Amino acid sequence: MASHDHDHPHDHDHDDHDHHHDPHAPQKDHDSGPADPHEVLEQALRELLIEKGVLTAGEINAQVDFMDTRSPALGANVVARAWTDARFKQRLLADTRVALAEMDIDIGSLADFRTVENTPETHNVVVCTLCSCYPKLLLGIPPAWYKSTAYRGRVVVDPRGVLDEFGVKVPDGVDVRVHDSTADLRYIVLPMRPPGTDGWSEKKLASIVTRDTMIGTAIPKVTEKTAARAARGKSAS
């Protein structure tokens, strides 16, 4: 396990964190109030790059627009492919960037990407303890709770408790691993394929993969509605 990952036994007791913060509660608007030092630095650097002719304002805006068009659907398609293609799954776990390139998914070159697989023995969850590093080029804009101090502070010391608040009850025999994203390394969770999905197409499988399942704060579920749709799809084919 990488040095910036955190493998926490579930019986730790910590008194220096507020465990009563609800990660689902409405969070402060990150655009309100005075700019923080990172925002000031970003603005100054952006203006300097434009002034020196390294980039144009149009190029910067185009890249921002490109990132804003990304959504969890991209990641869901990747998970569905891994569920149906064992060789692709091996390549995804070995070298995420190369595997994504096979699907014509560009994740840029500023940060490395790593895929961590949930198994019957291990459940993975992703956080950025320092700020809000997140695989935007694969999952789109992060949810507000991911950037909250409640989630960032608590999930590394009480992952089972936080997951329980999200509705994910990890059995005692399952190891919980917390992966700390950084500016240089981003993570995506490959959730376990749920039972009852045999014969489903990649499109149907992707429909049950949500953003939260790829962060590790949810697990894919087959509802009666999705099962019925899949059955209709198979009968039509």
User: Catalytic: which of 133, 201, 207, 235?
Assistant: 133
Active site residue 133: yes
Q: Are 46 and 95 members of one domain?
A: no
- The DSSP secondary-structure symbol of 112 reads E
Q: Which of 69, 92, 122 is a domain's end point?
A: 69
Q: Are 109 and 201 members of one domain?
A: yes
Region of residue 104 (left: phi > 0; alpha: psi -120 to 50; beta: else): left
User: Catalytic: which of 109, 131, 201, 237?
Assistant: 131
Sign of torsion over alpha carbons 141, 182, 220, 212: negative
Question: How many residues does this entry show for the chain?
Answer: 237
User: Catalytic: which of 128, 201, 207, 237?
Assistant: 128
Q: Are 222 and 174 members of one domain?
A: yes
Written in H, E and C, the secondary structure of 168-190 is CCCCCCCEEEEEECCCCEEEEEE
Query: pTM surpassing 0.95?
Result: no
86-138 pLDDT per residue, tens: 999 999 999 999 999 999 998 887 789 999 999 999 999 999 999 889 998 88
Asked, for residue 24, whether it belongs to a domain, the answer is no
Active site residue 3: no
Number of structural domains the chain divides into:
2
Q: Which of 44, 69, 94 is a domain's end point?
A: 69
The answer on pLDDT for 68 being more than 70 is no
13-59 pLDDT per residue, tens: 333 333 344 444 444 444 456 777 767 887 888 888 888 888 888 77
Q: Are 89 and 200 members of one domain?
A: yes
Q: Are 205 and 119 members of one domain?
A: yes
Asked, for residue 46, whether it belongs to a domain, the answer is yes
Q: What angle do CA 137, 210, 120 make, to 5 degrees?
A: 110
| CATH code for position 98 | 3.90.330.10
- Distance (Å, rounded) from C-alpha 197 to C-alpha 229? 11
Q: Are 111 and 181 members of one domain?
A: yes
Q: Are 65 and 90 members of one domain?
A: no
Asked, for residue 27, whether it belongs to a domain, the answer is no
Give the range of the structural domain holding residue 106, as residue numbers without chain letter.
70-236
Rg (CA), the chain: 19
User: Catalytic: which of 3, 71, 132, 148?
Assistant: 132
The whole-chain average pLDDT of the chain stands at: 82
